[in-house]
Amino acid sequence: MSSTAGQVIRCKAAVAWEAGKPLVMEEVEVAPPQKMEVRLKILFTSLCHTDVYFWEAKGQTPLFPRIFGHEAGGIVESIGEGVTDLQPGDHVLPVFTGECKECRHCKSTESNMCDLLRINTDRGVMIEDGKTRFSKNGQPIYHFLGTSTFSEYTVVHVGCVAKINPDAPLEKVCVLSCGISTGLGATLNVARPTKGSTVAIFGLGAVGLAAAEGARISGASRIIGVDLNPNRFKDAKKFGVTEFVNPKDHDKPIQEVLAEMTDGGVDRSVECTGNVNAMISAFECVHDGWGVAVLVGVPNKDDAFKTHPVNLLNERTLKGTFFGNYKPRSDIPSVVEKYMNKELELDKFITHQIGFSEINKAFDLMLQGEGLRCIINMET
């Protein structure tokens, strides 16, 4: 066990004290892990749109002060009671959703939506005792998504920690703990295009480009990117995208445009925007008889998906996915191996690298729509 096991650790954390205000670098206290928890030393983290969305707190109940962050890589510092499959020194990726391995979902080969540990954006405390492990001068600081990686040390439920190959570079594979795996798995695990097939990707942000990467790995012959921002088209070629369609350039529904381009419709489509109209287009653009559309983007709570039932009766399939249908503990280590085997390319997703002290710059970059993933080195 480490020399700090069982003790409170004082370390740097970027604390959000209120909505939309710059994070403040603070010295915080991180309590030891309790039953079925582990304390991690975070080495690299990155910023995801979900962090920004809840930091802005425009569409949900605000919960502050809070430590955000959920895409990261680190090392186990100490373990709590009952933890048997992790040891101090293990290289890990904390994940915003979990796998208890005991519930119906975890025992099912078809689901990754753990009853105990599935994503909960409102909870700011640990499930073991309903308390936080972070504090400053006695004041509790809330967790985010059970991970809170914008801290040099964090405490996470063991079911939300994937043990990975210690040779894998954490500054690269940390991006697999959220968005990249979500898009990649949506294609590889859910859409499952066959070699030579045609795939449409709606939305060419990081998740959409990861979905395109999945289509490239699958051997799709045509990967059609759909986006309203023409500046994204050039970079998308690196991810295997072969053609680009901007709905603004056409005076007819984009599903009709795609159907004309592909002799009746694409074989597979993956929707990564969260815009309900894009979701409808993604479904209606797939070919009858065998077409499959997969929804990844999260819609607004009042949205309604509307399409004619005949589109389903004509043997089109509509599917949804959560975290690319990956089980965090069981499956993410194998995704890391895809990178180690040079089957999956990650470097092209990483467009910026900064030190922890500059973390607010990462927020600025994302708000300006610059780049895909900004890696934050916790030790600089």
Catalytic site positions: 48-50, 70-71, 100, 103, 106, 114, 118, 178, 373
Query: What ranges make up the beta strands (E) of 54-170?
Result: 71-79, 91-94, 134-136, 139-141, 153-157, 161-163
Query: Furthest-apart CA pair in the chain: how many Å?
Result: 66
Paired strand residues for 73: 44
Which residue(s) pair with 268 in the sheet? 199, 292
Name the packing angle between helices 49-56 and 359-367 (round to 10°): 90
Q: Helices 276-284 and 254-261: crossing angle, nearest 10°?
A: 30
DSSP letter for 5, please: T
**3 state SS of 125:** coil
Give, in order, the Cα–Cα distances in Å from 291 to each of 188, 198, 304, 320, 354.
15, 10, 22, 14, 42
Residue 38 in contact with residue 83, Cβ under 8 Å? yes
Is 75 within 8 Å of 178 (Cβ atoms)? no
